[in-house]
Structure 1
Amino acid sequence: MIKRALLAALSSSLFLSLNACAEQTDPAAAQSVQVDLAGQTLTLENHGQRCALRKPDQSLLTLDMPWPCHLSVDRKGLPRVERFNNALIIIVQHFEPEPAPSTECRSQYQAIRQIEGRLEASIVAGGGRCMAGALDQKNFVALFTW
């Protein structure tokens, strides 16, 4: 009986710890909701539980991934903007840890490019990595048809 009570208490502690870890975000990522793209400030926001980019004219570009999301950052923790073929490109990421006791995590990301003065969203890519950090340039360009 004592072993069962101890096991239940340990399980509860572990579950709470895992939830606390899952709820923590990278400090740089938590602040990465605004980016300057060619003089336009774009802001990530929750639009009906979907990630959306608010443009300076107050219009929205709703993305194909759930809220919460954040901008990919560079090694200094600032939103990363890549330049490729006369386009500026950013990446928006969403992480979704699997419920405990699993240690798996699913991630999604979507690239957004500004080309010829307009914003275009790429297809959504998925993965099993849920750590914020520097992405390779191919992640920024490969999701578009050039």
Structure 2
Amino acid sequence: MSKRLRTPLLLLGMLTSLCACAESTPPPATDNPGYPEHVDLAGQTYQLENAGQACVLRKPDQSVLPLDIPSPCHFSVGKDGQAHVETFQGVPIVMVLHVAPVADSKLECRSQYKAIRLIKGQLEPSVLAQSASCLRGVGDQKNYTAMFDW
């Protein structure tokens, strides 16, 4: 095999391997094992619950905030395995996610998510965002902040 042919084949093989590794993470299970469903904000505990196939956030006073996200859902997960709370300009923000595998695929997902901030003692949900990926982890600060007017 000539050197001219070997280099492109080697690069093609490396690229194929890289793509396979990037896509090899399976989507999360739909029954939420190990995903946080409660979070503490300003000393109060908030709990995610299923209400007729939709997620709601139960407040400490037992009232609920509808999220317009399908069930099951969970909070974004920090390195400690707990719900991640992002703080921006002194305001705590959490991310609620619904991640669902695409039918007939073991690697693809569709995700819906909403940021919720506690501002001036009131919960304020953002608009619903969608992604064609299996969202995991904390994410970037702009995912928490960009969907609000500051």
Q: What TM bracket, shorter-length normalisation?
A: 0.7 to 0.9
Q: Which residue of 1 aligns with 2:54?
A: 50
Report which stretch shifted further, 107-116 or 129-138. Answer: 129-138
**CA-to-partner distance for each residue in 1:45-77, whole Å, 9 max, x for gaps?**
001211111011000001021010000011121
Structure 2 segments unaligned to the other structure (5+ residues): 1-26
Aligned mates of 2:140, 2:72 — CA distance in 1: 22
State the percentage of identical aligned residues: 50
Partner of 1:124: 128
TM-score, normalization by structure 1 = 0.78
Q: SS at the partner of 2:127? A: strand
State whether structure 2 residue 29 is matched by structure 1 residue 23. Answer: yes
Q: Which residue among 77, 82, 95 is the counterpart of 1:91? A: 95
TM-score, with structure 2 as normaliser: 0.76
Deviation string 1:6-57 (CA, Å, 9 cap, x unpaired) is xxxxxxxxxxxxxxx763677542xx00100001100000012111110110
Q: Which has more radius of gyration?
A: 2
Tell me how far apart the structure 2 counterparts of residues 24 and 50 of structure 1 sit (CA, whole Å).
14
Pairing of 1:55-70 with structure 2 (within 5 A): 55-70=59-74
Moved over 6 A (4+): none
Higher helix share: 1
Q: How many residues align?
A: 125
Q: Quick one: structure 1 residues 24 and 113, their matched pair in 2 at CA, closer, same or farther if it must change by over 3 Å?
A: closer
